[in-house]
Structure 1
Amino acid sequence: MTALIRAKVTALLPRIRQDLEDLVRIESVSADPARAGEVQRSAEAVAALLRAEDFDSVDIVSADGGAPAVIAHKRGPEGAPTVLLYAHHDVQPENDHAEWDSPPFEPTERDGRLYARGAADDKAGIAAHLGALRVFADDLPVSVTMFIEGEEEVGSDTLPALLKQHHDALRADVIVIADSGNWDIGEPALTTSLRGLVRVDVEVRTLTHAVHSGMWGGLAPDALITLSRLIASLHDDTGDVAIAGLHAGPAADVVYPEERLRAESGAVPGLEWIGTGSAVERLWTKPALSITGLDAPKVDGASNTLVASARAKISLRIAPGDTTANALTCLQQHLEAHVPWGAELTVTVVDTGEATQIDATGPAYDAARAAFREAWDGTAPVDMGVGGSIPFIAEFLEAFPEASVLVTGVEDPDTRAHGANEGLHLAEFERVVLAEALLLKNLSEL
Structure 2
Amino acid sequence: MDLSIHRLVDLEALDPELARLIRRREHSLVSLLELTNELSVSLDPYEIADLVLFNLMGHLGTPKSCLWLLSRDERSEPILLRAYGIQAEKAAGLGALCGPKMCSLMCEREGPLEVGEAAELLAPIDRTLVERAGLALFAPVFARTRLLGIVALGNRVSGETYGPIDKQILQCSLGALGVAVENTSLYSNVAEKNRQLAQAYDQLKENDRLKSEFLRNVNHELRTPLTVILAYSQWLLSEEADDSKKEFLETIHMEGKKLNGLLEQLLDLSAVSAETLEVTLDEFELEPVLEQLFMNRHLGITEGLREFRYGTTGEIPRVRADRHRVHQILEAFVDNAIKFTPQGSKIWLRASVATFGGTEWVRVDVQDDGPGIPAPQLSELFVAFHQGDGSTRRVQGGLGVGLPLARQMAERMGARVEVESEVGKGATFSVFLPISTSGE
| TM superposition score category, shorter chain reference | under 0.3
| Structure with greater contact order relative to length (CA < 8 Å, sep ≥ 6) | 1
TM-score (norm 1): 0.18
Higher share in strand = 1
- What TM-score do the two structures reach when normalised by structure 2? 0.18
Q: Which has the higher helix share?
A: 2
Larger radius of gyration: 2
